[in-house]
Amino acid sequence: MADNQKIPFLDLASLHQELEQELLAIFQKALRTAAFIAGPMVEEFESEFSRFCGASQCVGVSSGTDAIRFALMASGVQAGDIVLTSPFTFIATAEAISQAGARADFVDIDRRTYTMDPEELRRYLEKNCVIDGETGHCLHKASGNRVSAVIPVHLYGQTADMDPILELASIYNLIVIEDACQAHGAEYFSRKENGWRKAGSMGRAAAFSFYPGKNLGACGEAGAVITNDAAVARRVRMLRDHGQARKYYHEMEGYNGRLDAIQAGFLRTKLPYLSNWNERRREIAARYGELLSGTSTGLVLPYEPSWSRAVYHLYVVRTEEREQLLERLTKAGIGTGIHYPVPVHLQRPYRLIGFKDDDYPVAESAANEVLSLPIYPGLTPAQQDRVVEEIAEFERSMERAFSVQPSARA
Ligand SMILES: Cc1ncc(COP(=O)(O)O)c(C=O)c1O
């Protein structure tokens, strides 16, 4: 491959070219039957995706954000409650909490996995909360509000360490909603159950996004709630459809949050490929690991604990020289991303309600140093070699600068 050929951060066009005929057939079917809302395409996808996740219920909704909001509301989170989550996530996790009428509070992340640190969660609950003797509710001592739920985020395609989180949730009577928006097919080894569990099958409910760039992506907006709780699924079905279980009989106020039938058809077409795509992502990640640890790059590579089988939605390295490396890769025509440059608690809406610098130092330092390299099933070994060679050359140039001007890097 020519050195000047660009390597995109993500190549969705090639993937869709391969599936073009199958996807066009779905569109044609929808046009000919005029089945645009609900119907068999949605139901078939729901039943196949719930099976994929190892759960009994799937409710298709219009986005991952709505999936989190509906999962919270349907599981019993009330207006005024506090819901705990990670500050190192896409803002949608926290937005959905506010949209459900609750208030987000944060628990810092583990510095190696970037997911919620269970020890931090324990500290938060022990320091800030008390269990009400009468109701069994977990109350926030300072505000008196109920802390009703926790949302661990399975970031970059790797689950949070769920055993200790589930154990704390059971002690403190918290509802667990998994944010699995980046983790379709990721697996977690539960020491407690001595077995592997799929992302989305461990909490009261879980939210998935099918935003186009996800491991399983729609050709537009889409999401789903996964749960083993039939009552939660029933409430989500009503919430997504104006609060009705029967047309024009509304048991509550709901939303227009349904999964579009054409998107369901596209997702159903893609789902049989997902396991292979995930396997391919794992191979690419393993190869990055081998190649990058063979160079003297000094990059911190992704950490996959023994309890995790990650699906590498993103391949994220870490370096103090992130901005320089990003600039070099950009100049070389290599696409990168930063997920995420500002942790949620330091985004304006959360600063306005009192969050500030140093509140969550692990998330804050990660936000300053993480860099996502190209990863997608179609990334070729030659492209990968070029990414690694650019990084190695960058490091050599930094070493040269270091040997000439030692103080410059101090
Ligand atoms: C961790 C996380 N949570 C929630 C969302 C929201 O999903 P959507 O964009 O489908 O609303 C995303 C999507 O990017 C995400 O990555």
Instruction: Express each pLDDT in 246-264 by its tens digit.
Output: 999 999 999 999 999 999 9
Using pLDDT thresholds of 50, 70 and 90, give the confidence band for residue 294: confident
Rounded to the nearest integer, the mean pLDDT of the chain is 95
Place of tokens 């190649």: 291
Which pLDDT band, with edges at 50, 70 and 90, does 397 fall under? confident
Segments of 164-297 assigned E as strands: 175-179, 187-190, 195-198, 205-209, 223-227, 244-246, 249-250
For 332-366, the pLDDT digits (tens) are 999 999 999 999 999 999 999 999 999 999 999 99
Question: Residue 297: its pLDDT value, please?
Answer: 64
pLDDT of residue 162: 98
pLDDT digits (tens, 9 = 90+) for 4-46: 589 999 999 999 999 999 999 999 999 999 999 989 999 999 9
Average pLDDT over every residue of 64-84 = 98
Residues 354 and 368: their CA atoms lie apart, in Å, by 21
- Residue 154 alpha carbon, nearest atom of ligand 1: 1
- Which residues make Cβ contacts (< 8 Å) with residue 284, sequence separation at least 6? 312, 315, 375, 377, 379, 384
DSSP 95: H
Please tell me the least confidently modeled range out of 51-65, 190-204, 249-263, 387-401. Answer: 387-401
The tens digit of pLDDT for each residue in 186-214 reads 999 999 999 999 999 999 999 999 999 99
According to the model, what pLDDT value does residue 408 have? 44
pLDDT tier, 404 (very low <50, low <70, confident <90, very high otherwise): low
Mutate to test the pocket of ligand 1, among 109, 211, 340 (most ligand atoms within 8 A of CB): 211
| Ligand 1 atom having least distance to the Cα of 96 | 4
E strands of 146-301, at which residues? 147-151, 175-179, 187-190, 195-198, 205-209, 223-227, 244-246, 249-250
Best residue for ligand 1 mutational test, from 65, 85, 259, 260 (most atoms within 8 Å of Cβ): 65
Q: How far is the CA of 246 from the centre of ligand 1 (A)?
A: 30
Check pLDDT > 70 for residue 403. no
Pocket perturbation via mutation, ligand 1, pick of 154, 209, 225, 314 by most ligand atoms within 8 A of CB: 209
pLDDT of residue 362: 98
pTM (two decimals): 0.96
Pocket-forming residues, ligand 1, beta carbon under 6 Å: 63-65, 89-90, 92-93, 153, 179, 181-182, 209, 211, 223
- 190 C-alpha to ligand 1 centroid (Å): 25
Where does the pLDDT of residue 400 fall: very low under 50, low under 70, confident under 90, or very high at 90 and above?
confident
pLDDT tens digits, one per residue of 94-129: 999 999 999 999 999 999 999 999 999 999 999 999
Query: Residue 51 pLDDT > 80, yes or no?
Result: yes
